[in-house]
Amino acid sequence: MAVLIYTVIIILALVIQTTIFTAWPIFVVIPDLILVLVVLFSLINGPGFGAKFGFLAGLGLDLFVGELIGLHALTKMVIGAVVGLLALRFYKENYVVPLISVLVATIADQLLYGLGMAFFGVTVPVKYLLEQILLPLLLYNGVLSLLLYVRLYYFNKKIFYWDEIFRRSR
């Protein structure tokens, strides 16, 4: 049951990111809702879940976008695992932890994706990446993390509760 709910969350996030957010870009960039969800769920559920969720969400994004298939999956999986490992050491109910985690993960994701693009021969202008993409993306992802974290934290508890009820009813 939980797998189905998380799959629906990924699909809804992909649809929102690739339709609604792309319809209204501000400062040329769109928020990376998939990355924000990967970081927040990794903080809540730990490294194993974060790696799996990040891989599936990144692969879905690769299939929606259709360029360099597997690169988003790899970067989101690495980010999910690392954030999940670091989350074991922090007090997750603090609002500052998810905000800083999303900001650092945004920087890491953009750098990893840029390295992956360079590995495949796609040129990446570093100045453009830093000034035109990274700074507005940090702002958007930070705001999204503040808006979503508490809601996802309590919704995640409900998912586990529903999953337990579903398992016991079988």
Question: Is pLDDT above 90 for 91?
Answer: no
CATH code, 114: 1.10.1760
Question: Is pLDDT above 80 for 78?
Answer: yes
Q: What is the pTM of this model?
A: 0.92
Question: Is pLDDT above 80 for 101?
Answer: yes
On whether residue 166 sits in a domain, the answer given is no
On whether residue 148 sits in a domain, the answer given is yes
Helix (H/G/I), strand (E/B), else coil: 94: coil
Domain of residue 101: give its range: 2-19+29-154
On whether residue 162 sits in a domain, the answer given is no
At residue 1 the predicted structure's pLDDT band, cuts being 50, 70 and 90, is confident
Per-residue model confidence (pLDDT) at position 158:
94
In terms of C-beta distances under 8 Å and separation of at least 24 residues, what long-range contacts does 151-160 make, across chains too? 152/37, 152/40, 152/41, 152/44, 153/40, 153/44, 153/92, 153/93, 156/41, 156/44, 156/45, 159/2, 159/5, 159/6, 160/2
On whether residue 99 sits in a domain, the answer given is yes
On whether residue 144 sits in a domain, the answer given is yes
Residue 26, strand partner residues: 29
Per-residue model confidence (pLDDT) at position 9:
95
Question: Is pLDDT above 80 for 17?
Answer: yes
At residue 163 the predicted structure's pLDDT band, cuts being 50, 70 and 90, is confident
On whether residue 24 sits in a domain, the answer given is no
Which of 6, 95, 5 is closest to 43 using CA atoms? 95
Q: What digits encode the pLDDT tens for the residues 41-75?
A: 999 999 999 999 999 999 999 998 877 899 999 99
Q: Name the domain count of the chain.
A: 1
Residue 29, strand partner residues: 26
How far apart (Å, rounded) are the C-alpha atoms in residues 36 and 84? 13
